[in-house]
Chain A
């Protein structure tokens, strides 16, 4: 019998029941809850007269639509200026209080973007199944978890039963071997992967990221990569356990200590794909081929090296591709053949669950240090992913570097990743953004998003246009 993949192991160890029709009941270890996709689930629970199955599995925090402005945040939930948003956050508080679910409230230490706070508190650990009503839940897979996003009906299903009805996915392995060049970051690696396989390339698959590039990568970098598995069409992204995984977990708030930690580690060390495991789909990239990446279009697969040009209509292999490109160029206000570096930016956003951890803040600060935001740039938002990231960045003096450069240092939340709060683009504005989606209107009606790494976004802020971060002297 062939060996098991990491995904096979995680799946098998959570199988409550396999049904004849191919569906299965899967046990959920950790459920992360936020204000936007949970109110209807709690409501459904109440209407059916049901109670949560288990309380110590849930962890909640508001993140999607809270303000990142210090003055407004200091006023708490009651001071939220958008009434509809205020009701939503208040509803989360009320539901958590009513049922006794652990919530890190709006300004409490621990609050943050769901996918930043879960791992950093040790609420997500290797070997767990982790779900959340948000598609970027795949982020937690960096810790060798089986983690994926769910809809609101499933939020209710997990609350009520601690299980999900699921069907096993196929196994895909994306291997990147070699050594990344200077200035090439985890974000560039995942954008290059999406550029290669497309936004539907991973549909129906769980992706394991393997190869020396991911072994050499920090856990935070692995989170950036797993985070965007969904942009490659896969609900699940994972990296196997190694010593870095264990070191990352040790000492975190909800991680066991002493003997129980040793017991957990012994199990965690088994969470790798067997050498003879067979994957349904294999994809390979070479690290040395990857340059800093920038999206120029309206889908994450519309991505190129920063040194390239926007594709032209006559290069397109099919009519469908040509139509898609034409529409994207029109929306983005770009010409085919135009150099990527010639694209001017109006705003810059450094944040989101893709790139708002402390390493991301450091990478951006390294470029911002001693420089000023270009006069043509209207706003540079730096939004730490959590209260803990914010505190750490401030302890390191990064906030001062950003402020001196003319950037805005904000309170933690999702912010301009999805623009549900006041942080948004105006129509026609170009944004250098470290978030994960460049869909039409994602960052504001008519806004034009260019996805890139934190260092590249900081460089664009300083230059006033998209620029190859490798031309900055710090990058060696």
Chain B
């Protein structure tokens, strides 16, 4: 997995609460058996005026001129500024895949849906949680300043603005370490293979019906 340590970049807005995973990546794109290539279909229904089809070339599709991420000033954005309960809905990891593939490295929002939040970490995408008031301040500054950039430091757990705000954020120790070092979760867990085996043997002795029935 790709590591995340610190990032400075252009901010793009998604100014609505409860953005669900169907909105992030509509279901027709889930038919792919690949992990990559979802970026052009991020926010597909909001972003384009026609209906997107999997596998189709997006470069000539009509863009929705009212969708903020289509505005020239937000092109090249790498930090997504969002509202509360971002990523609610389904468990599809295609949502963080699409966000990452589009070019975002981090998201800032007051809260996330649990599964989405978890899925971000598996893909080197940092979901930062700030308070609603702090997010309000960032939206106001973003609105007022073309070319608005933010700096995120995962080590220090801070978001800093050029205007001088410094906002600290919380993050799990384990997740932070994995992101900082770009660690592969599965490899880490397999280091505990003996403990798993031991647990499994005890469980099979105690609750034998959990084992063996399905074949």
Interface of A is mostly: loop
Taking the complex as formed, is B115 at the interface, i.e. its CB lies under 8 A from any CB of chain A? yes
Min C-beta distance of B31 to chain A, whole Å: 4
Name A203's closest neighbour in chain B (CB-CB): B114
Name B's A-contacting residues (CB within 8 A): 16-18, 20, 22-23, 26-28, 30-35, 45, 51, 54-55, 84-85, 88-94, 96, 111, 113-115, 118-119, 122-123, 172-175, 177, 185-186, 188-190, 192-193, 195-196, 199-200, 203, 207-215
Contact A153 B113 (CB under 8 A): no
B94 contact set on A, CB distance < 8 A: 152
Contact A163 B196 (CB under 8 A): yes
Contact A200 B111 (CB under 8 A): yes
CA A327 to CA B46, docked complex, whole Å: 13
Which of A125-133, A178-186, A287-295, A387-395 forms part of the interface with chain B? Answer: A125-133
Contact B31 A152 (CB under 8 A): no
Contact B186 A149 (CB under 8 A): no
Name A91's closest neighbour in chain B (CB-CB): B33
A59 contact set on B, CB distance < 8 A: 214
A19 contact set on B, CB distance < 8 A: 174
> How many of chain A's residues touch chain B, expressed as a range?
35 or more
Contact B215 A55 (CB under 8 A): yes
A154 contact set on B, CB distance < 8 A: 118-119, 122
Which of A4-12, A21-29, A361-369, A457-465 forms part of the interface with chain B? Answer: A21-29
CA A22 to CA B175, docked complex, whole Å: 10
Contact B89 A135 (CB under 8 A): yes
Q: Which one, B31, B88, B118, B173, contacts A420 given CB within 8 A?
A: B31
- Sample of 18 A–B contacts (CB below 8 Å): A16-B192, A21-B177, A22-B173, A37-B30, A43-B33, A64-B30, A87-B33, A151-B92, A153-B122, A157-B189, A161-B186, A161-B193, A165-B174, A165-B185, A165-B189, A199-B88, A264-B209, A324-B17
Taking the complex as formed, is A242 at the interface, i.e. its CB lies under 8 A from any CB of chain B? no
CA A128 to CA B95, docked complex, whole Å: 28
A73 contact set on B, CB distance < 8 A: none
Contact A151 B91 (CB under 8 A): yes
Taking the complex as formed, is A119 at the interface, i.e. its CB lies under 8 A from any CB of chain B? no
Contact A149 B115 (CB under 8 A): yes
Name A150's closest neighbour in chain B (CB-CB): B91
CA A157 to CA B196, docked complex, whole Å: 13
* Chain A positions 38-66 with a Cβ under 8 Å from a chain B Cβ: 39-40, 43-44, 48, 50, 53-59, 64-65
Contact A161 B174, CB 8 Å, known A440-B23, A441-B45: no
Contact A152 B207 (CB under 8 A): no
Contact A56 B215 (CB under 8 A): yes
CA A279 to CA B177, docked complex, whole Å: 31
Give a binary string over A74-87; 1 marks a CB under 8 Å from any B CB, 0 the rest.
00000000101101
Name B215's closest neighbour in chain A (CB-CB): A56
Q: Which one, A25, A37, A162, contacts B92 given CB within 8 A?
A: A37
CA A54 to CA B118, docked complex, whole Å: 24
